[in-house]
Amino acid sequence: MTDAAPIVARHLTRRYGDFTAVDGIDFTVARGECVALLGPNGAGKTTTIRMVTGFCPLTDGSIHIFGRDIMREPREAKARMGVCPQEDNLDPDFSARKNLVVYARYFGMEGRIAGARADQLLSEMGLAEKARSAIPTLSGGMKRRLLLARALIHQPDLLVLDEPTTGLDPQARHLIWQRVRELKSRGGTMLLTTHYMDEAQHLADRAILMNQGRIVLEGRPAALIAAEAGREVVEVSRPDACVVEFVRGHGWPHEAAADRLYVYDSEGGRVASALAAKFPAMERYARPATLEDVFLRRTGRSLDAAS
């Protein structure tokens, strides 16, 4: 068991009546790796996370956490896992510090050690002055940092972060990024879900893109960007038929969405220069390709009913 991977999911499936939320997916998270699970609303990410963390039963397949079957050995599997949930489920009747201490006790941590660990984490998260504060008095950013501290209180071998920075201001968001980078530098293993592609690109060693319950793409962010979007994207505002025909004639990969044309350049600079020479008055913008371009190319730019 000691050498088993933190997460091994095989043929993972979850159905709700006739609806299949997760459709037979396979993935593994290795030790010391940060994996980002991405996808639009309704893709199956949250259901996958709930199955990994033991909050949702599997319809079919298996999940092993460090070799422990999450359904047959939930206590042993969860003991090595820290979870920072999407929703705020802090105890409103306890202070910030007591939330951490009580949670630590669930994992058998002795009171004195739990207190020292809580104080350390509150300091690291910039919450030392809020130790005695009631939960309802904390800002959204403070609650998110406290949830992360709670997930770390028992020093888990695997950290699951479900949209940890949703709704946060830039300062709070970057503070959490900093803490995650520090955990990574110490060899921490993480499974992350986020709707912020820059967050995934910044933090993840590997990205898994889901859509309609299935995995559609998987790999290192930089490799996915290079393969799917190239080095540069040129956005053309309100393109006319001549511009579109020019792009098609050169065989450049492109997408049209509303009043924009997105042209993908594998080399960088080539498309922008050619468009500028041919249509000097045309409004355009060239920028580096990102993981968001990969996301939109593979899952679409329009919202569906599930979103």
Q: Which of 292, 298, 278 minimizes the C-alpha distance to 214?
A: 298
**What is d(CA 102, CA 120) in angstroms, rounded to the nearest whole number?**
15
Q: What is the dihedral of CA 90, 96, 102, 106, to 10 degrees?
A: 50
pLDDT of res. 179: 84
Alpha-carbon 166 to chain mean position: 10
Crossing angle (nearest 10°) for helices 111-124 and 96-106: 130
Contact 90, 135 (CB under 8 A): yes
pLDDT of res. 2: 58
Q: What pTM did the predictor assign?
A: 0.90
| Tally of CB atoms within 10 A around 31 | 14
Scanning the structure block, which residue is given the tokens 């199956």?
Answer: 44
| Dihedral sign computed on CA atoms, order 103, 108, 112, 113 | negative
**What is d(CA 47, CA 86) in angstroms, rounded to the nearest whole number?**
12
Crossing angle (nearest 10°) for helices 140-152 and 111-124: 140
- For the chain of 307 residues, list the mean pLDDT of each consecutive stretch of 10: 86 96 97 95 93 96 97 94 93 97 94 96 94 95 93 94 87 85 89 94 95 96 96 95 95 91 94 95 94 92 50
Q: Which of 40, 60, 36 minimizes the C-alpha distance to 49?
A: 36
pLDDT of res. 173: 86
pLDDT of res. 257: 86
Residues pairing with 150 in the sheet: none
pLDDT of res. 306: 44
* Residues contacting residue 242 through CB under 8 Å, at least 6 positions apart: 279
| Tally of CB atoms within 10 A around 40 | 19
Q: What is the CATH number of domain 231-289?
A: 3.30.70.790
pLDDT of res. 172: 82
Three-state SS string over the chain comes to: CCCCCCEEEEEEEEEECCEEEEEEEEEEECCCCEEEEECCCCCCHHHHHHHHCCCCCCCEEEEEECCEECCCCHHHHHCCEEEECCCCCCCCCCEHHHHHHHHHHHCCCCHHHHHHHHHHHHHHCCCHHHCCCEHHHCCHHHHHHHHHHHHHCCCCCEEEEECCCCCCCHHHHHHHHHHHHHHHHCCCEEEEECCCHHHHHHHCCEEEEEECCEEEEEECHHHHHHHHCCCEEEEEECCCHHHHHHHHHHCCCEEEECCEEEEEECCCCHHHHHHHHHCCCCCEEEEECCHHHHHHHHHCCCCCCCC
Domain spans in the chain, listed from the N-terminal domain onward:
231-289
